[in-house]
């Protein structure tokens, strides 16, 4: 069971980022099955599998839709590997947290080096004649 399925089973609605276009491609991806099963585990859908899905469903994709569907499948498989850890945040949350962490670390490092630079400058300035 995926995390989103578990959330929905528990009566929770995930706070997904807005999707302004292309919902039909996400729906197609889920209908086709977002991944294939290869000898080494999950694999992206191949063009042949996408073509077979089109023939079976009667849906005709144009070239950019088929390529986008394959890209979505590839990204799905890649994220599936990253998200295999139970404590891994959702991909759109991870970027936000990563950005916040980066900003906090940058501020701390800047404070440390700023303090060191001020102390060094104070030590190297010639003493003023009294």
For the stretch 17-75, pLDDT in tens is 777 888 899 899 999 989 988 888 899 999 999 999 999 999 999 999 999 999 999 99
Q: What is the mean pLDDT of the chain?
A: 80
Whether residue 54 contacts residue 60, with contact meaning beta carbons closer than 8 Å, is answered with yes
Residues 95, 78, single domain; the answer is no
Q: Which residues pair with 41 in a beta bridge?
A: 38
Residues 62, 93, single domain; the answer is no
Quote the domain boundaries for residue 26.
20-87
Residues 79, 119, single domain; the answer is no
Rounded-to-integer distance, Cα 60 and Cα 79, Å: 27
Q: Which residue has the higher pLDDT, 4 or 128?
A: 4
> Does residue 12 belong to any structural domain of this protein?
no
């Amino acid at each position: 069971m995926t995390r989103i399925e578990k959330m929905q089973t528990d009566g929770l609605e995930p706070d997904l980022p807005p999707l302004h276009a292309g919902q039909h491609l996400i729906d197609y991806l889920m209908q086709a099955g977002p991944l294939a099963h290869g000898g080494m585990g999950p694999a992206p859908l191949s063009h042949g599998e996408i073509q077979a899905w089109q023939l079976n469903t009667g849906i005709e994709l144009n070239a950019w839709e088929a390529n986008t569907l394959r890209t979505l499948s590839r990204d799905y498989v890649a994220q599936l590997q990253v998200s295999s850890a139970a404590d891994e945040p959702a991909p759109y949350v991870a970027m936000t947290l990563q950005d916040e962490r980066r900003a906090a670390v940058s501020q701390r490092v800047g404070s440390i080096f700023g303090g060191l630079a001020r102390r060094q400058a104070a030590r190297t300035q010639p003493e003023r004649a009294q």
